[in-house]
Amino acid sequence: MVDQKIETNTTTTSQQAVWARLRQIVTSNKIGSAYLFSGPPGCGKEGTAIKFSQMLNCEINKDNICENCPSCVRSSKLQHENVKIIFPLPTPKKSSDNEDSGIGKKDIDLVTDELHKKSIDPYHKIIIPMANRILIQSIRELRKNLYLKSESSGRKVVLVFDAHLLSAGQGEAANAFLKLLEEPPSNTTIVLITDHVELLLPTIISRCQRIGFPRLDDHYIQSWFQSKMVKKEDVSFLVGLSRGNLHSAYFFISQPIKETTDLIKYLIDSTTKNDPGRWRKFIQDYSKLAKQEKDKFGYHFMLLKIWHQSANRLQKGIDDPLHDTPLKLGMETFVRTYPSAKLLSIVIDLEETVRAISMNLYMPLVLTNLLLNTQKNLRQ
């Protein structure tokens, strides 16, 4: 019962400053036609957007959410007739006459299940296999719905999750959506939510009121782990790895602690020790991983990045949650061995290595340069 209460209230308690601003927008009766919620992954943008739509249609409170009126109940279940949610879907298969046949029953069932999970936990990330763009069909259907006269009271709200994927492919969905923003239907508010605002068309951004979300602070993440009955001795380790991202926190809570620490040690040894044999294996293994399991590759390099960021803070005398874990001993030895190391340069190289996958660069060469640059940066 404790967990359920925390999940219900999490979006309003985790981003209090943003929520206060949204309440002010509603109370001042200056509700805009389009907003852009942007910020780092796992900071509660989608959940806050859902709560915002709930507040806009609450039948009792003018500046908050009563949670009890019929409108709030339907909103909390993501079943409100005034609220439309757009997110990436698989590309429909072509029928024999070259017409889109729509998504299959299996995908429809999966979408329904994902929306149910989202209604229970606002931090749940909706992920549909093979869904890598927002479909033009979704925008066309949305336009028809918004311009139809409705007998329902309240305000129509459109929530666009992963809005940057409007621009995926040929960008036809983005262009169609831009027309919607240029001629917004009356009594309608559109909220675009994205981790990657830089991928949106500038013309779309210019038509939205920007609301930035900061990363969740470590105290909030710590409280979340404690609510999940995580062992006290593991909390600092998990907080340090999560870096204010509750999506990461969900993932790390499911991983055995020892496996994660062993993996971090292996990665650090493989990339910082000048060992040609170890390097050859690392380049071979991770070139293959970059091609076959991109998510796993990204996860491993995220661990490397977090460790170096924490070691840099130790080097600079800045507190970090990982300094309260057994990892600190290895970091202290590392900093003594390489007192002048340019650790932030290594972090940047790690980020560029992950980015190289999407650029279709030759990964054996990219990884070789990473290892060589790491040795250079350690001995500055």
Closest CA to 119 of 75, 69, 68: 75
In tens, the pLDDT along 10-26 reads 556 678 999 999 999 99
Distance of CA 185 to the CA centre of its chain: 29
What is the pLDDT, as a whole number, of residue 111? Answer: 92
DSSP letters for 45-57: HHHHHHHHHHHHH
Between CA 374 and CA 265 the distance in angstroms is: 16
Among candidate residues 288, 249, 310, the one with its CA nearest the CA of residue 123: 249
pLDDT, tens only, 111-128:
999 999 999 998 899 989
- CATH of the domain spanning 2-212: 3.40.50.300
Please enumerate in sequence order all residues whose Cβ is within 8 A of that of 134, keeping only pairs 6 or more positions apart, or say none.
86, 87, 88, 89, 160, 162, 163, 165, 166, 168, 173
Q: Which amino acid is at 155?
A: R
| Residue 6 in this model has a pLDDT that exceeds 60 | no
Does the pLDDT of residue 259 top 70, yes or no?
Answer: yes
Classify the C-alpha dihedral 357-361-362-365 as positive or negative: negative
Decide if 115 contacts 85 (C-beta within 8 A): yes
Span 356-370, average pLDDT:
94
Per-residue pLDDT of 55-69, as tens digits, reads 999 998 877 888 899
What is the structure's pLDDT at 4? 36
pTM of the model: 0.84
pLDDT tens string 173-230 = 999 999 999 988 889 999 999 999 999 999 999 999 999 999 999 999 999 999 998 9
Neighbours of 143 (CB within 10 A): 16
Given a contact cutoff of 8 angstroms between Cβ atoms, the answer to whether 300 and 362 are in contact is no
Q: Which two tokens stand for residue 339?
A: 């007192």
